[in-house]
Amino acid sequence: MPRVFQPRTIGRRQNDRSSPRDRGYDALWDRKARRYRKDNPFCERCAQFGRIRFGEALDHKFPVQDGGKIHCDKAGVWHLCRVCHGWKQNLEAYARRTDQMERIVEWCDNPASRPRMRGDLALPLPE
């Protein structure tokens, strides 16, 4: 059977989320996020392992889609590189599957408390 040509979609895919404004992110969030990125330009998870990599995504430690606040304090967000943001999404999926969303902030802040997952890095050796 011949393959059917399917043109690539340009721009947003149809299954993408709604726009940030529709999800509640406003100008105040934009200002806070810009300031946080300026003050903390590097990936905070990479820093826990002694690596230096620029952050690309400002991520809520407790996801907004699971009831987290958009306008939380600085301790409620962290700047992540693309690799670490993908890892964090996997961690969130694990927490949802195992009904442990209340532990997600602890897992973000304390590497030793995290469950071992695919793609995890070894903890740095004590000096």
Ordered by start, the domain boundaries in the chain are 27-112
Of 17-21, 49-53, 89-93, 103-107, the one with minimum mean pLDDT is: 17-21
Q: What per-residue confidence (pLDDT) applies to 36?
A: 93
pLDDT band at 111 (very low <50, low <70, confident <90, very high): confident
Q: What per-residue confidence (pLDDT) applies to 99?
A: 94
How many helices and strands in the chain, by DSSP H and E? 4, 2
The per-residue pLDDT for range 65-80, each reduced to its tens digit, is 888 888 888 889 999 9
Pairwise pLDDT comparison (95 vs 3), residue with the higher score: 95
Report pTM.
0.74
Residue 58 tokens read as: 């400002």
Q: How far apart are CA 30 and CA 124, in angstroms?
A: 34
The per-residue pLDDT for range 2-61, each reduced to its tens digit, is 566 555 555 545 556 788 777 778 888 889 999 999 999 999 999 988 999 999 999 999
